[in-house]
């Protein structure tokens, strides 16, 4: 009997969670975003999540904006901002726990990219899962940035306008404007150049 009750409870909980997700997606879609019905967006109370016009969130993407305990012991509410025209593709994973994640305009966040706003402390003496956040927190992505599939942006990273991150990279430091980075850990491998054909068509 207890097993039947547990199964029924899980069934009801699944319906509730799905209803919440539909409501969240509908709210953002009404504001001009395009959220796939299979994307999951979790926003804890007092946290902020802002999508500007024409933001796309693809199938299976997971976005979590939550409260976390910072390294100094204070509770901090997460914040996420995504600029106009940015595309967050299938199965991307964005976590703003007790931190601020800001993604600019017209960015391309490819499949399976992870953007992690904060991490746990790793000192010996307490389980890692119970420790406060590490001192590095927040991620900033500028405008017109392309982040290749399966890449990871770690806490404290800033990627400036026009940068390109190669597929499968792990970014641990600042990436300057229009630079191309790749690798584990990612390093600078080049810089974007002007195309004469594009310049002529724009002119």
Determine the Cα–Cα distance for residues 96 and 119; give it in Å rounded to an integer.
10
* Catalytic residue flag (residue 59): no
What stretch of H or E contains 51? strand 48-51
Radius of gyration of the chain (CA): 19
What are the two backbone dihedrals, phi and then psi, of residue 108, each rounded to the nearest 5 degrees?
-120, 105
Q: Name the nearest CA neighbour of 39 among 81, 85, 87.
A: 87
In this structure, are strands 62-69 and 75-77 parallel, antiparallel, or unpaired? antiparallel
Q: Could you say which of 59, 81, 112, 120 is catalytic?
A: 120
Which residue numbers are catalytic? 120
């Amino acid at each position: 009997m207890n097993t039947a009750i547990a199964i029924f409870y899980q069934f009801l909980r699944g319906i509730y969670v799905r209803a919440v997700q539909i409501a969240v997606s509908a709210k953002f879609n009404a504001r001009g975003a395009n959220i796939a019905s299979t994307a999951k967006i979790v926003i804890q109370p007092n946290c902020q999540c802002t999508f500007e016009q024409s933001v796309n969130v693809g199938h299976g993407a997971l976005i979590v904006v939550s409260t976390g305990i910072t390294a100094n012991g204070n509770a901090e509410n997460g914040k996420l901002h995504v600029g106009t025209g940015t595309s967050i593709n299938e199965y991307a994973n964005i976590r703003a726990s007790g931190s601020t994640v800001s993604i600019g305009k017209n960015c391309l966040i490819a499949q399976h990219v992870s953007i992690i706003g904060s991490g746990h402390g790793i000192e010996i003496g307490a389980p890692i899962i119970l420790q406060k956040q590490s001192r590095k927190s927040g991620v900033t992505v500028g405008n017109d940035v392309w982040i290749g599939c399966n890449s990871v942006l770690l806490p404290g990273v800033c990627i400036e306008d026009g940068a390109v991150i190669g597929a499968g990279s792990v970014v641990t430091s600042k990436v300057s404007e229009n630079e191309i980075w790749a690798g584990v850990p990612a390093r600078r491998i080049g810089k974007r150049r002007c195309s004469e054909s594009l310049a002529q068509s724009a002119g």
